[in-house]
Each structure stands twice: as C-alpha cells, then as structure tokens.
A and B are shown apart, each in its own frame.
Chain A
Amino acid sequence: MFETKIYDIPDADIAWCPGCGNFGIINELKTALAQLEIEPQRVVVVSGIGQAAKMPQYVRAHMFNGLHGRSLPAAVAIKMVNPELIVIAESGDGCTYGEGGNHFIHTIRKNPDITNIVHDNQIYGLTKGQASPTTARGQVTTLQFDGVYVDPFNPIAVAVALDASFVARTFSGNFNLTVELIKMAIQHKGYALVDILQPCVTFNKVNTYQWYRENTYLLPDSYDPTDREAAFKIATDTNKLALGVIYKNPNKPIFEEQLAPYKTDKTPVAYRGLER
C-alpha cells in the first residue's frame, strides 16, 4: 500500500465547513487510491462545480475542474483519448443529477470505464442551502420556504433502470465501506456509480450524521447484485436506504474499446505521434 500523503496538496486552503462530510470522502478516496497503489500520475479527477467539485483541488493527481454539470462528458472524452488513465468523475448531487442529468443518463448508456463518485448531501451547499434534485419532498430550505413540492430524483433506481454496469451507495461516515466501494468501482471494468450519502452540516439540518445512521442499512452478504429485479426493488425502497453494491452487470461492452482507433491498435490516441 502507498502512503496516503502522496495524494496531499501541501498548504491547500480547504473551503469546506468544519464537520463537512467531504472530509470523510477525501480521506476515503485517498485511502482507496493508496490501497490500490495507483500513482498520482495515472489518475485524472474530473469535476464540475460545487463544494463536492472542489475535491480535485485538494487531491494531488491530474485535475480537470470544468463546468457545472459537465464532469461526465469531460471524463468520457479523457477516457476515450487515453484509456490507460484512471478517470474519476466526482461532483455533487446538484451537478451530476440536476445540471448534468442528461449526461448522467447517456454516460450510463455508453458505459465507459470510469468511476463516478457523487457526493449526495441532498442540498445545495455552494449556493447556500437551496433544494437539490435529491432533497426530500416537504423539506424547508433557504429557497423553498413552504417546503419542496416535487419528488426527489432517485439516482440508484435510474441507474438500475438504465442497466448501469456498477451501482453502489454508501455513507461518508462509514469509512471502511466507502473505501471498499470506491476500490471496487475503480477496479470495475465499465461505468461505476458510487452515490455517497453525505451530511451538509451547515445547510441540511434534516439529513444529519445521525439521520443517515438511523436510515441506512448494509446489504447482507447473501444479496445478489446481478439480480436486476431485486436491485430495482432495493433501489425504489426509500424508507430505509441500502448501502453496498446494489447492482452489477459486468457483461456490457466498454464504450472506448469499441471505437475505430482501438480496433487494431491499443495505443492511446493521446500518445500516437509522440515519442514516449
């Protein structure tokens, strides 16, 4: 195992609130990378905009911090051009499921070999407390004074419905589980979603650390994630949120592998014509 400090950015001026779930996630990500012994030079962390999207600012690796909602198209393109890189698209629930909702759908359809980590705190942090696509109906926010009056987006159910090749959910407060799931997602060949439930201590007074502990449960070892019907049932059960690998379809073709330049030559397009 590598030391996690190789992924540290010295003197980073971190913009997260004390107690933010993002601190858990950044440690979990660095630990997963260290355990997998992945050099910083092999990883590209791609993000959009938001508090979660600041993640690559604090992780020593390649960084593409692009536009709000657009982490996935950028990640897909980077993987197409250089399949040797480990590409992690990391952003929040607003960025991934709201602004970037169309990309979420179509990236799952494409099935590139990337990892998609979504910090799902069920609220908008950077813009100060408005509802996100995953905020519960009825929750009062800094904008929705009478409570949210639309149903929340269910990313897990959508991903299962689209036959995503790897779908997992975890809670940032569960260190070991999150590290394990991030590792599995990185090692999984194909698109891998890790939806990380994460408290926003400043703007979401409903979904607290305690709330997540009380409202989640770990999937038992006997659970078969390749059973799509069972997965859909788990995904649509929002009374208690299941944690673990909810669905997996390892038999899907990989997007970039089917592209014309890779049919006979596996050299990344990025390196063609360069002296290595």
Chain B
Amino acid sequence: MDEMHVKPNGEVSIVLSGAAGQGIQAVEHILTRVAKDSGFYVFATKEYMSRVRGGNNSTELRISEKPVYAYVDRIDIIVPLNDNALERLRSRITDKTIILGEPRYVEKENNSIGVRFEEIAESFGNKIYENSVAIGVLSGIIGADEDALVKHISEYFKKKPEEVIKANVNAALKGYEIGKTLGLKFEIKPNEKVKSQILMNGSEAVAKGAIAGGCNFISSYPMSPATTVFTELSRLSSEYGVLVDQAEDEIAAANMAIAAWYAGARGMVSTSGGGFALMTEAISLAGMIETPIVVHLGQRPGPATGLPTRTEQGDLNLVLYAGHGEFPRVVYAPGNLCEAYQLTAKAFNIADKYQIPVFVLTDQYLLDSFYNVDEMPQVQIERYIVKTDENYRRYEVTEDGISPRGIPGYGRGLIRVDSDEHDEYGHITESGEVRVKMVEKRLRKLDKIKEDFVMPKLFGNESYEYLVVCWGSTQQIVKEAIERIGNDKISMLHFSQVYPISPKVKDYFDKAKKVIFVEQNATGQFANLLKLELGVDTSHRILKYSGYVYSVEELAEKISKEVE
C-alpha cells in the first residue's frame, strides 16, 4: 500500500454508511466496545434518516490514543454498505480518504480497497455474517485486541444458537486477519486506563443521572430523539424500582408526572419539542400548585415535525416561556456526558427543593453520541418531604417562598392542591390580597434559586481577548475547535445552566475584547437571553441550523474568521 494510507497521528476516523436496517448500529455497538477494551479512546456519533428501512445513514467512529469527544468532518476510512452509500458524504471524502468495502461498491473510486465481505461471510455459512467480517477487518486495521473482538462478537450474539455465535466469531477473526495484512497502519497506542472505563451515550447518561437523582416514576410518549431515555429507564425499572407508564399522549404524561410528585414520587417526562408543546399547560399547573416536575427535552429541528432525526438547539425559548402565567423554573443544558448525568440528578433535587419545573435540555447529537468515561461521580439524593400534622397548610407563606411539602398519607395533614388561585390551605380564592401574597411567594423562590446557580465553565486562558460563548451539546466541539486554532487569546465559556442566569457571570463578558456566540439555531436564542438578562454585547454570532451538527473543522474556520 502506498504512503497515503498511513496516518501517523494516533487517531483514525472511520465512517460506516448504508441504508437503515443494514446493521450499521450493530457494527457501531460492537466496534466501539472492541476499541475501548483494546485501550483506545472512542467517540461515536450517528446521523440518520427518519425511516425504518432504506435511505442513507452513517455513523462516525473516532478511535484515538487521546481523549476524543467531538464530531469531525475528516474521514480516514469510509465503509460503504451499499451502492449509494457514498453519495451523500461526497463532500467529506478527500484524496486522503480510504474507501473500503465490497469491490462492487468501491471499485470505481480512487484510493479504494476491495474486501469481499459477503464471500467471506458465505464461507462461514451465511451472507448475513458480513458485518462481523467488516468489524473484524476494521479491528485488524486499528490494531485492536483479538480477545476483545471475540468477546464482544460473542456477547452481541449471545441469544443466538451456539453455531451462529461460532460462525460470527470465525467470520470476524477471518476479517481481523485480513485487516492486519492490508498494509494500513494507524499507530494508536493503547492506554490501560481506558480499559476500565465505561462506554456511555447521552441517553444513558441522562437516564442513569435520573436514577442517581432518585427518579422512581416516568410517564412519557415516544418521540425521537428522547425515546431512548424513556427506554433506558424502563429497562432499569425492576432494578431501581421505577414506575413506568407509556401514556396515551404527552398531555397525560406531564399531568401524571406532576401528580406522581404530589403523591410522593420523583417523576420525569422525556420528550422532544413537539411533545413538550403539548405539555405546556401542565408546566403551568406545576407552577401554580408548586409541585415539582423534571422534564427531559431532547431537541430536534422544528417547527412542527421538522427534521425528526436531526439535531438543533431551537427549543430554548420554548422551555423558557412554556406555560401561561408567571412562575419560576430552572433550565440545564449539559455539555458532555458527565454533565448530563450530574445535572439530570441535580434536576430532581432542585425540583424538590423549590417545588418547580426543572428542564434538562439536550439534543439528538448529545443523546446519540458515545464515548468512554470514568465511573460517574457520586450524587446525593436530597429529599424535602415533610411529615404533616392536622394543622398543615400546603401553601404556608414563608420568608423564602418555599412552603414545606407534605404528601398524602404521611402524617395527619391533608394535602390540598389547587390549579385555581388559592389560600394557604389550597382553597380556591378570588381575594386580590391573597392573590398578591401568593404571586409574590411563588416568585420569591427565584432569589434563592440563583444561589444554586451552576456557574459556566471557562476553558482556556484566564486572560483572554476573545471569548467564545456556547451552551449545551456544542461544548466539546467548540473546545476542540479552539484547541485546533491554537491561539491563546481565545477562551471558551460554556453554560450548562441557561436559566436563571446569575449576574455574577457578567465579569467574564466585561473582560473580553470580543464575545462570539456559537449556537445551533437560526436566531441565537441564548445570545438574546443574555442580552436581556445581562445587557452584554451579543452582535457576533456563529449560527447553524441545517439540522446537521457542527464539525470541529467548520467551527475552527468560523471562529478563526471572527478573531482575524
């Protein structure tokens, strides 16, 4: 093989491309685990069409000797699984990209390597083992551990008959042998530390964070990309004692989660923008009856059905203003898996403490991205339920606005909550005087909520000239883009709590010569919010709203232009 095939930088970016139903996800699932157990850092993310069969989907796997957490445009190896798998990705294929696959899919391409996956699979008894062959070939190319390959192939097919498992293992081993002899060398040094880490994606991080926060109730209605969080909690329901209901619609789901908190559970809903739109009246109910709810909203591009399987940060305004009337709320937007875990757990504590709706705002990109992580940090479950007596008043007016919250059956008090304006006992009222007291009591909580503000994280030099501001899932892409630019006058400020904003953060802005906002939406919703809250200059904005996530290269170029 010629020189072009050798990438000595300790990293390879592999893209698998094919139709829905061709097994790309199985290859991703197994190969990421094989790579991780071989001691390689792994990052994987997928982009897919809203269909169950056909079309074109792709998965990117970055396998590296250094930590990798972001999507890149660069493709070192692309594996087409059918005859039109390359077309949509043409712009990312350069003269350095190796095209590896069935000869009939790749033979017309420059820089291609044909491997007869099908034929090899058939030699082990069935054409359908071709994905195992492909996994083997790729494992051979990256120098993965052979035992890890055998282990994960066997594990994936463990419910199949013994001979099928064996055939897949042998097919993969044959592929592995071929992969090693193709003459492609990616010198990736294994790291022992990685082997003991766990592979996780955003959905698991949110679901496990919910469990860590004491979530024991979920009612939801399936909607991409948020369904996976619901599924994960359902899978964990026996182990962790979670009440699960697939509700008839999102309206039921949200009302159920609120009523579950009322009765003493810690409930959540997982939905996307369209589903959440149906829940907004219930959010207002939570505001009025001062009963917590945790909402996980996995964003996708709207309006309406939009691009159901793609990504966007377009629903910040929706959660900020959802629900009629005035009441406090908190919005988190995690930037990585660890934050997704911690902030989801925290959402339950904060919802309980202040008796308010708390949002965890993610998106398709974060939910569907995998990488290896250390064990997640310990989180304390904080519970605020009180035992009541006969004289209990659910809406007792207090200095900080928080009325101790009882639940039915725990103590002798009666728990009376009312969506109408109410007095301290929860009884309906039209007294203007009581109304004013209750409005002020509810809004007073906001002052204390700000004490629990999660400060934004500064990445880079403290004495910066340029400050790149971002929120939510773009954290790691922006970070790597700035590292790539290599200019120590540029730093990044990432917000994982986007509402309410503490005035303390204004200092970061005052220090900067120029502030550049990066958002994955068309109007710069977070920039607009900060302008409103802090009055800072938000005139420099890098925005993307194609439904496709930013790449590191693309952002590096755009940020570079802003600092010229």
Contact = CB atoms under 8 A, between A and B. Distances in A.
A75 B105 CA distance: 58
Contacts of A269: 216-217, 241, 243, 264-265
B416 A62 contact: yes
A76 interface: yes
A77 B414 contact: no
Given A77-B219, A259-B243, A260-B243, A64 B265 contact: no
Contact of A70 (B243, B251, B264): B251
Contact of A78 (B216, B251, B263, B289): B263
B385 interface: yes
Interface string A43-73: 0101001000010110011111111011011
Contact of A103 (B248, B409, B418): B248
B409 A77 contact: no
A84 interface: yes
A235 interface: no
B456 interface: no
A260 B244 contact: yes
Contacts, number: 163
Interface in A78-93: 78, 80-82, 84-85
Contacts of A42: 409
B410 A63 contact: no
Interface string A239-276: 00000000000000000000111010100111111101
B111 interface: no
Contacts of A54: 428
A40 interface: yes
Nearest to B428: A57
Nearest to B381: A273
Nearest to B388: A41
Contacts of A9: 427
A88 to B, nearest CB: 12
Interface string B241-261: 111110111011101111110
A63 to B, nearest CB: 4
A67 B417 contact: no
B256 A105 contact: no
A213 B242 CA distance: 49
Contacts of A46: 259
Contact of B255 (A49, A70, A265, A274): A70
A234 interface: no
A270 B265 contact: yes
A81 B264 contact: yes
Interface in B213-270: 214, 216-217, 219, 237-238, 241-245, 247-249, 251-253, 255-260, 262-265, 267
Contacts of A271: 264, 409-410
B248 A105 contact: yes
A62 B408 contact: yes
A270 B282 contact: no
A74 B258 CA distance: 8
Given A272-B241, A273-B383, A77 B255 contact: yes
B396 interface: no
Given A80-B260, A270-B265, A67 B419 contact: yes
Contacts of B282: 67, 70
B416 to A, nearest CB: 4
B414 A60 contact: yes
A260 B238 contact: yes
A55 B264 CA distance: 23
Nearest to B420: A65
Nearest to B257: A77
A74 B255 CA distance: 6
Contacts of A268: 264, 409
B217 A80 contact: yes
Contacts of B245: 76-77, 80
Interface in A108-151: none
B490 interface: no
A73 B426 contact: no
Q: Which of A64, A103, A272, A274 has the most CB of B within 10 A?
A: A64
B409 A80 contact: no
Contacts of B428: 54, 57, 65
Contacts of B243: 80-81, 259-261, 269
A102 B244 CA distance: 19
Contacts of A67: 255, 281-282, 285, 419
A205 interface: no
B412 interface: yes
Nearest to B241: A261
A233 interface: no
Nearest to A75: B259
A71 B135 CA distance: 53
B42 interface: no
A5 interface: no
A261 B237 contact: yes
Contacts of B263: 44, 77-78, 80-82, 85, 270
Contacts of A63: 414-418, 426
A261 B242 contact: yes
Contacts of B264: 81-82, 268-271, 274
A49 B284 CA distance: 15
B408 A272 contact: no
A40 B408 CA distance: 10
A78 to B, nearest CB: 4
Contact of B409 (A60, A75, A260, A270): A270
A60 B416 CA distance: 9
Nearest to A255: B245
A91 B533 CA distance: 43
Given A62-B415, A64-B262, A82-B264, A73 B251 contact: yes
Q: Which of B214, B238, B244, B407 has the most CB of A within 10 A?
A: B407
A72 B289 CA distance: 17
Contacts of B419: 49, 65-67
A77 B260 contact: yes
B407 A270 contact: yes
Contacts of A78: 259-260, 262-263, 408
Contacts of A60: 414
Contact of B259 (A41, A74, A105, A261): A74
A85 B248 contact: no
Interface of B: 214, 216-217, 219, 237-238, 241-245, 247-249, 251-253, 255-260, 262-265, 267, 281-282, 285, 289, 383, 385, 407-410, 412, 414-420, 426-428
Given A77-B259, A77-B263, A80-B217, 4 more contacts: A41-B408, A44-B263, A77-B265, A270-B265
21 contacts: A41-B408, A49-B419, A69-B251, A70-B252, A73-B219, A73-B247, A74-B262, A75-B259, A76-B245, A77-B260, A81-B217, A81-B259, A82-B409, A85-B263, A85-B408, A260-B243, A261-B216, A263-B238, A271-B264, A272-B216, A274-B385
Pairs of residues from A and B, 7 with the lowest C-beta to C-beta distance, nearest first: A270-B264, A74-B259, A106-B248, A81-B263, A77-B256, A73-B252, A77-B259
